[in-house]
Structures are given as structure tokens and as C-alpha cells.
Structure 1
Amino acid sequence: MKLTATNLNRFLFFKLPSAFICGVRVNEITLEKCVVSVKHRWINQNPFQSMYFAVQAMAAELSTGALVMLHIQNSNRNIAMLVASNKSKFTKKATGRITFICQNVNPIKKAIQNTIETGEGQTFWLQSVGTNENGETVSEMDFEWTIKLK
């Protein structure tokens, strides 16, 4: 499957239905960045009239993971990937449309190159920043990814 926004959203529908139902959608994916958005609504709210943290985490993880998948696909190697850990920082209520962007691809490129050259697993951190419609940061999510040759 070629990794496009449309194909990733189709993937969500079939393989991650909870993310799809909550409104998580890939808006753009290139070799340099991935943009994922989700709109605050009844199905994804918390008791405080903002977006539930786990919905933000789904969107943020997708923005990092889709980039990893794209770079693995471009390597033409059989590489497994998995989230090892994550950390989050919330700075403002998440209401309206929240857009998560991951655009630091250097750790991905370096880890894939190292795992191909050495045959050893690699770990690296990627960050996704969520902003509201006014451009204000509402959350920052960091994911530690692990990759290894299959």
C-alpha cells in the first residue's frame, strides 16, 4: 500500500476504528512531515468540555508513526516498529480542531540507516505538537519508537 493521506485514513477505518470514530484523520504526509487533525466533539470529549487526552494521543502517535512507516517503506527493507514509551505535556484546553504535526525526520533516517548497517535494533524519540485553530499549542507528545530488522 502506498502511504497517502487517503490510504492511511482507509487504514484507520479498518484497523483502528476507535481512532476513526473519534474523528482522527491524516491531512498530509510527505517525507518531511505528517499532519493529523481531530475535531473536539461529543464522542471524544472529557467531563471538562475539552478533548479527551487519549484522543489527542491517538492523533499525535499517528503523526509520528505514519512518518516512520513511510521511511521504512522507502528503505525497501523488512523492518518492524513499535512504540516503547511516551510522554505528554498539556498546556491548554483542547477545543475546536486540533492539528498535530511531526516534522523531525532526522532521527528516523538515522535509526533506519543504523539498523540496516548493523542489524541491531534502534530506538529514537519523535515529537508531535498539537495546536488549536488559533495556532496555540495545546499539547506536546513524545513517542519513543523502536525498530529492528525482521
Structure 2
Amino acid sequence: MSPTTADTPQAAAFRRQVLNPMKLRLFMLQKLPMAWLAGLRLTQLTPELAAVTIRYKYLTQNPFRSLYFACLAMAAELASGIQAMMHVQTGGPVSMLVTGIQGDFTKKAVGLITFTCPDGALIAQAVAESRATGEGRTVVCTSTGLDEAGDVVAVFKLTWSFRAKK
């Protein structure tokens, strides 16, 4: 664990909250209703990595009998965004915003898809630098979606912007 991803009491408390399935569902119902409707699940969250699942079902389907690309993008965004939320909890207020997204689709997405984003250290560093300098920082996070067989179905690159509030 690098110094920028050192666990803090605030980050640990945030993880306990969001890793509780009932509390996460209530949070999503209140703040991310489409994620709640799509059935996104947070399966792993550490200072370095997050994993989010989405299942092919009636509400997430497209006419081609696979997961709708927007549902895949939502899961990919949450995998990086939940880490950003966790790292923002550790100090003064920081605004965060997705400023860009790119998706590459390599296989038909059916069944349970797990998006993993291992960029927690980059996020923590950007948040810390923004707090130290007062200037904005951007990070490009990669969320990779795997199906149940372990095959890559999609890779998303999300550009996050962080700026410490005064």
C-alpha cells in the first residue's frame, strides 16, 4: 500500500457503509436510482481496487439479447467512482466529475458481468494533490468488464476531474 492509498478511519467507515448491501441499496435508491433499478452490486472495495457487478436481465437488455451499453458504462463508472468517493471522504471537501468516457466492446455481454477498476492509488494521489495545491487534477481510470467465463467483454476509460473546494 503506497502512502497515498494508506487506509484512513474515514475510508474504512465509508467502506463499511457501502459494502453493507442494504445500506448501499438505500444510497443508490436515493442518489443513483438508475443504478438501483439496474441492480448494480458492489462486491469489493479496497483503497486500491473496486469491483461492481451487473446482470443481464429484462431492465438491462438491448434488442440484441445482451446488456445495453449504457448499463455497462454505468457499472464501469461506479467501479471507479466509488473509489473516488471513498478517497474524497478522507479530508476537506473535493468536487469530482466525469469529464470523459471511452468504451471498447469486445464480446457480447450476457450473464453476470464484473467491472474491476484498480486505479485507487491514482485517484488518491490526484485528490491529495488537489487538496495540497488547490488546483484541479484529472485521472484516467480503466474499468474492465469480465463475464463469468473470465473473458473481457468491455473496457471503459473514464476521465475523472478532482478539485479541492475552498
Contact map agreement 1:112 1:147 (CA 8 A) in 2? yes
What corresponds to 1:33 in structure 2? 49
Please state if 1:2 is matched with 2:14: yes
For structure 1, list consecutive stretches of 5 or more residues without a partner in the other structure: none
Contact map agreement 1:9 1:26 (CA 8 A) in 2? no
- Residue 71 of structure 1, aligned match among 72, 82, 87: 87
CA drift at 1:105: 2.0
Cα distance in 2 for partners of 1:86, 1:5 equals 26
Overall identity of the aligned pairs, in %: 38
What corresponds to 2:153 in structure 1? 138
Q: Secondary structure at the match of 1:81?
A: strand
Q: TM-score, structure 2 length as denominator?
A: 0.85
Cα distance in 2 for partners of 1:88, 1:19 equals 18
- RMSD across aligned positions (CA): 1.3
Paired AA for residue 38 in structure 2: C
Please state if 1:50 is matched with 2:66: yes
Which deviations, in whole Å up to 9, do the C-alpha atoms of 1:112-138 show, x marking residues without a partner?
A: 121122110111110100000000000
Cα distance in 2 for partners of 1:106, 1:34 equals 12
What corresponds to 2:77 in structure 1? 61
CA drift at 1:28: 1.6
Give matches, 1:4-19, under 5 Å.
4-6=18-20, 7-19=23-35
Cα distance in 1 for partners of 2:144, 2:57 equals 20
- Residue 95 of structure 1, aligned match among 110, 129, 135: 110
Cα distance in 2 for partners of 1:18, 1:109 equals 27
Paired AA for residue 159 in structure 2: E
Cα distance in 2 for partners of 1:2, 1:108 equals 16
Paired AA for residue 5 in structure 1: L
Paired AA for residue 60 in structure 2: N
Please state if 1:107 is matched with 2:122: yes
Q: TM-score, structure 1 length as denominator?
A: 0.94
Cα distance in 1 for partners of 2:97, 2:44 equals 22
For structure 2, list consecutive stretches of 5 or more residues without a partner in the other structure: 1-12
Q: Secondary structure at the match of 1:116?
A: helix
Paired AA for residue 74 in structure 2: M
